[in-house]
Structure 1
Amino acid sequence: MKSYLNVLATPGAWRFLLPALVARLPFAMLQLGILLLVEWATGSYGAAGVAAAAAAVSQAIAGPQTGRLADRHGQARVLLPQVALHGLALGTLLALATAQAPTSLLVLTAALAGASMPQVGAMVRARWAYRLGGSARLNTAFAVESITDELTFTVAPVLLVLLSTGYSPVVALLVALVLVVVGTTVFAGVRTGMPEPAPVRARSAGGVLRLRGVVPLAVAFLAMGSVFGTLQVGIISLTAALGTPASAGAIYGTFSAASVLGGLLYGAVRWRVSATARLVVGLALLAAATSTFTVAGTIPLLYGTAALAGLVIAPVVITGYTIIDGLVPAEVRTESFTLLGGAIGLGIATGASAAGQLVDQFGPSLAFVVPPVTTVLAALLVLARRRGLRARPPAVTSAPEPAPLPG
């Protein structure tokens, strides 16, 4: 635990970590919340699925553009108008759903709510990289962020479902709206660790996708997102087929808990193996672990395979963020982080859609063929492009590591 305590003891870190945690809970509630809201308003799961997918895809597309603006103009100047726009879009969606507006209007507004969602998680990672750049503690800081993501994506849906069933989806998303506005506003006001805006001349005209090594990493994160999306659909459908639908939540919770454990163990190690080699091996192990779902025909086996896959996935995510931090210039760091986050979101939507089609056509077990295929292909791509994933030569692009406070 010493490595984690050293990172969390970074002067001023808690000033931005606490409001960021509040702002990140709604991020994990939005897609499922829109699904429940639109189904409640229209009575159609088909319409709800389209609206949720529209939010996910628009978020994946707009996220890197938000990161680009944050790199260029500073986090606060982007987050404050963005959270205001998000509040307006989500509030309008709630009003339209309550009024039972046409589905097309609900889908359009859901897309606006997704596109305007503040990318606080990527901006926290950018702050860590700015403060700890060049330090061995950065890998541990990224592990902290991966664990935080996993916890929020475990806790937030539970809170959302409790509020939706106890009251209504409108109340649930109103709570999410309050949390995102308060958390983002406070986070934007904390200047601790905030990177300095980059000059326009340092920007790449084609965006970060034109930079060396970024495309293979984006594909790897898309594959990891497909794991999350596929397991959500596959576990729910298979447990229902086995006659124990209530166990789906506990099985997915096992996956999340194992991911937290895997991230903790991985982040505490000072690795001597290159990050690229770790990424290739991690993706291959993830393919092997997720392939066991295809033969997990009982509830105990589902628990075991979920734990196995969870142990592997957080280290792969951490490694990807570590690699991209060493690849891209500091002035495009936030854009790069939001790109990877958007790739995961797009992978979730794609994986869930593909798994749903396979379940409908061939049964629950066939849904689990998606993750091994996507992760193996990603591992092969990373292996083939490994030379382009070497870190850039160090440059003076970030603030020096702060000295401890007196006393």
Structure 2
Amino acid sequence: MASTVTPSKDSAAASRPGYGRLLRTPGAWTFLLPGFAARQPFAMLTISLVLLVQHTTGSYGAAGAVAAVTGVSMALFAPYGGRLADRYGQRAVLVPGVLLHTASGLALTALALTGAPLWALFVAAVPTGASVPQIGPMVRARWGVTLKGSPLMTTAAAFESVTDEFTFVVGPLLATALCTAVDPAAGLITEAALTLVGGLLFAARKGTQPEVAARDGRARVEHVSALRVPGVRVLIVTFLGIGSVFGGMQVSLAAFSESIGNPGLNGVLYGVFAAGNMLSGVVCGAIAWKKAPQRRLVIGYAALALTASALWTTHSALSLAGIGLLVGMCIAPALITGYTLVESLVPAGARTEAFTWLTGAVALGQAVAVTAAGQLEDRLWDGAGFLVPMAGTVLALMTLLALRSRLVPAPRGRTVARGVGHREPVAVD
């Protein structure tokens, strides 16, 4: 008589992708711990700049403009740093970048404290932003090498999003506390110190970084820019909208807290927003999704645009915290799904660059939003800066709906980037 073997609950649980199984991956902790320390300053930089420059100039518009220069510089230079990391190794790019960022960040702090003209702050902001260490994309690239196509890749993407958002809970709280309770410059000084120590420790972990491909003909095909993949360009627009939420809320929450005479509340409100993001990221990583990632991205982004559109209607700290929590809960699914799509859209040799394009898009969206929100807060009513997240997410959602077909991976063997590739001869055993 035929019999059917039913897997036990224990074996099913063991094969189910989850955080416990992910964190037991051999070698994972050797880059996770230093990577966590090294990425903490990223969450502190913008808010530290805004609080310092606003203190020395008295203008949120000026503060937003300096922060915007930093964000634009990062967005422009980060992808090239990612491309160099793919070609020459992460350590070769990270060490000089960390040293440059530390020096330029301290120089920017000194200029602000000595009352330097605004143009001088802009000049110092360029290398500060351009040299921001791209630890998050580098960690994601290391996961890709460590897991090598495992079903845990989606869980790893969720874990990285949770880690990012945890830094955005701790970072703004730490920066705000340092700038308001210790000294207006304490946030940037701490950011520079953490960048130096954390970045060098991460760079020292050479064993887990992706291998550098040999520079032969096939390697040159593999190093085609990730920007030439149509789906990556759609994701860049999507992440620009997410950046508009981060930037718009950072300035608007600071202005709101100042307007009610409680500037320390800024870090708490932003922490609630980031906590919602982190908690939803934990849940997303624990779910075995059946819907295609392209569809999940559209649904999640529609929810983000809807909740972000309600921010400007709030008039109390309690309601602002509640809506901010909902906005945060809608960001993580979009981020996780976007990073997951990179694995199927982009060749392995260009993924660090692709991740940095997305990270840079968030930074650019944040920079534009910081500038726009600062101007609106200075020129219009208290809370006008919250119009920026609404506009950014709605415009990005319209683009995503119109071009979502480009997020479907091309069949194997077909060219995904215009004017390159064709079919390459493949050696078989």
Could you state the TM-score of these two structures normalised by the residue count of structure 1? 0.88
Q: Using the alignment, how far apart are the partners of 2:258 and 2:330 within structure 1?
A: 26
1:13 equivalent among 20, 28, 33 = 28
| CA drift at 1:72 | 0.9
CA pair 385-367 structure 1, distance change in 2 beyond 3 A: same
Structure 1 residues 180 and 394: alpha-carbon distance in aligned structure 2, compared to 1, 3 A threshold? farther
Q: In structure 1, what is the equivalent of residue 282 of structure 2?
A: 264
Structure 2 CA distance for aligned equivalents of residues 170 and 239 of structure 1: 19
Cα deviation for residue 290 of structure 1 reads 1.7
Once the two structures are superposed, the pairs formed by residues 21-36 of structure 1 within 5 Å of their partners are 21-36=36-51
Match of 1:71 in 2: 86
Question: Does the 8 Å CA contact 1:51/1:111 hold for their aligned counterparts?
Answer: no
Summarize the Cα distance change of 1:171–1:234 in structure 2 as closer, same or farther, 3 Å threshold: closer
* Aligned-pair CA distance for 1:33: 2.4
User: Aligned pair 1:137/2:152, yes or no?
Assistant: yes
CA distance in 1, matches of 2:196, 2:384: 41
Question: What amino acid is aligned across from residue 341 of structure 2 in structure 1?
Answer: I
Q: Deviations over 1:371-401 (max 9, x none)?
A: 3333233233223222221135569xxxxxx
Displacement of 1:255: 1.4
Matched letter for residue 310 of structure 1: G
**Distance change >3 Å, CA 39–CA 372, structure 1 → 2:** closer
Kept in 2: contact 1:202–1:331 (CA 8 A): no
Give the letter aligned to residue 66 of structure 1.
Answer: G
Q: Judging changes above 3 Å, is the alpha-carbon distance between structure 1 residues 362 and 109 closer, same or farther for their aligned structure 2 residues? A: closer
Q: Could you say which residue in structure 2 is the equivalent of 1:202?
A: 221
Inter-CA distance 184–217: structure 2 relative to 1 (3 Å threshold):
same
Query: How many Å separate the matches in 2 of 1:211 and 1:133?
Result: 21
**Residues 44 and 225 of structure 1, relative CA distance in 2, 3 Å threshold:** closer
1:225 alignment partner, one of 236, 240, 243: 243
**Count of aligned pairs between the two proteins:** 394
| Residues in 1 aligned to 2:369 and 2:155: alpha-carbon distance in whole angstroms | 29
Contact 1:54–1:111 (Cα < 8 Å) also in 2: yes
Checking the alignment, whether the CA contact within 8 Å between 2:80 and 2:353 is kept in structure 1 is yes
The one-character-per-residue Cα deviations of 1:53-88 (angstroms, maximum 9, x if unpaired) are 211110111111110100111101111121122223
Counterpart amino acid of residue 260 in structure 1? M
Alignment map for 1:159-170 (pairs within 5 Å):
159-170=174-185
Unaligned runs of 5+ in 2: 1-15, 414-429
Choose which of 299, 303, 307 in structure 2 pairs with 1:281. 299
1:348 — aligned with what?
366
Q: CA deviation at 1:297?
A: 3.4
- Spell out the pairing of 1:110-189 with structure 2 (5 A cutoff): 110-189=125-204
* Correspondence for 2:327: 309
Per the TM alignment, residue 95 of structure 1 is displaced from its structure 2 partner at its CA by 4.1
Q: 295, 300, 315: which is aligned to 2:313? A: 295
Structure 2 contact 176–264 (Cα < 8 Å) conserved: no
Give 1:349 deviation, angstroms: 1.7
Tell me, in whole angstroms, the C-alpha distance in 2 between the residues paired with 1:30 and 1:238.
20
Q: Distance in 2 between matches of 1:17 and 1:97?
A: 34
Q: Which moved more, 1:312-321 or 1:377-386?
A: 377-386
Matched-pair contact (CA < 8 Å) for 1:13–1:192: no
105-114 or 246-255, larger mean C-alpha shift: 246-255
Q: TM-score, length-normalised on structure 2?
A: 0.84
Coordinate RMSD, CA, aligned: 2.5
Give the Cα–Cα distance (whole angstroms) in 2 for the partners of residues 318 and 184 of structure 1. Answer: 24
- Describe the SS at the equivalent of 1:385: helix
Deviations 1:106-152 (A, max 9, x none): 32112111111111111001111222242221111111111111111
The alpha carbon displacement at 1:273 in A equals 0.6
Q: By how many angstroms is 1:281 displaced?
A: 0.7
1:154·1:253 contact (CA, 8 Å) conserved in 2? Answer: yes
Q: Which has the larger radius of gyration?
A: 2
Give the secondary-structure state (helix, strand or coil) at the position aligned to 2:315: coil
Q: Which stretch of structure 1 is more off in the superposition, 57-66 or 157-166?
A: 157-166
Gaps of 5+ in 1: 396-407
120, 139, 143: which is aligned to 1:105? 120
Is 1:58 the counterpart of 2:73? The answer is yes
Q: Compute the displacement of 1:253 (Å).
A: 2.0
Q: Distance in 2 between matches of 1:269 and 1:258?
A: 17
My pick for the range that moved more, 178-187 or 237-246, is 237-246
Q: Distance in 1 between matches of 2:188 and 2:263?
A: 25
Is the 2:255–2:382 Cα contact (8 Å) retained in structure 1? yes
